[in-house]
């Protein structure tokens, strides 16, 4: 696999257990050194009080609602992120985050890693 996360830490907010497990393993195999998985907005916000990832993947719709609040917290910390969704074009991206890349499920890990690498270092 050519795509690499170059020893980055990743927050993965994904409420589908099997997708989360597969993606976590694939991110680690792609060079991430620390992948923290959360399934809810509440857990993501709690984790961000003690963990500052290099980059994040946010499922747009988590079990307890839209990930917009998590996106806001990441933006405040200066952490770049991408959205992931299986809803296609019908899902509304919150206005302040329409510039954020969206990875469509089911995504290939190479596409996800390329999207994560593309946002790292951006200053939007």
86 lies in some domain: yes
Picking from 123, 8, 12, the residue whose alpha carbon sits closest to that of residue 75 is 123
Residues of the domain holding 24? 9-119
3 lies in some domain: no
10 Å CB burial of residue 69 (0-12, 13-18, 19+) is middle
17 lies in some domain: yes
SS3 state at 79: coil
2 lies in some domain: no
DSSP category for residue 93 = P
Compute the distance between CA of residue 88 and CA of residue 42 in angstroms, rounded to an integer: 25
64 lies in some domain: yes
> 91-118: string of b/e by CB count within 10 Å (b at 16+)?
eebeeebeebebbebebebeebbebbbe
Model pLDDT, residue 70: 97
Q: What percent of the chain has pLDDT over 70?
A: 91
Peptide bond into 106 cis (omega under 30): yes
Model pLDDT, residue 19: 95
4 lies in some domain: no
Which residue is associated with the tokens 């405040």? 76
Compute the distance between CA of residue 4 and CA of residue 23 in angstroms, rounded to an integer: 14
Model pLDDT, residue 67: 93
Model pLDDT, residue 2: 47
Q: pTM for the whole thing? A: 0.92
- Domains in the chain, number: 1
124 lies in some domain: no
Model pLDDT, residue 123: 42
Per residue of the chain (124 residues), what is the pLDDT tens digit? Answer: 446 798 999 999 999 999 999 999 999 999 999 999 999 999 999 999 999 999 999 999 998 999 999 999 999 999 999 999 887 665 678 889 999 999 998 899 999 999 999 999 554 4
CB 121 within 8 A of CB 55: no
């Amino acid at each position: 696999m050519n795509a690499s996360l170059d020893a980055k830490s990743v927050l993965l907010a994904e409420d589908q257990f099997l997708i989360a497990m597969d993606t976590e393993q694939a991110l680690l195999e792609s060079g991430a050194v620390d992948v923290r998985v959360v399934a809810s907005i509440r857990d993501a916000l709690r984790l961000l009080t003690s963990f500052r990832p290099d980059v994040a993947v946010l499922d747009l719709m988590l079990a307890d609602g839209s990930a917009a609040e998590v996106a806001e917290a990441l933006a405040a910390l200066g952490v770049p992120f991408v959205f992931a969704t299986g809803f296609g074009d019908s899902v509304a991206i919150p206005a302040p985050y329409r510039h954020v890349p969206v990875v469509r499920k089911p995504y290939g890990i190479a596409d996800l890693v390329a999207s994560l690498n593309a946002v790292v270092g951006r200053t939007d």
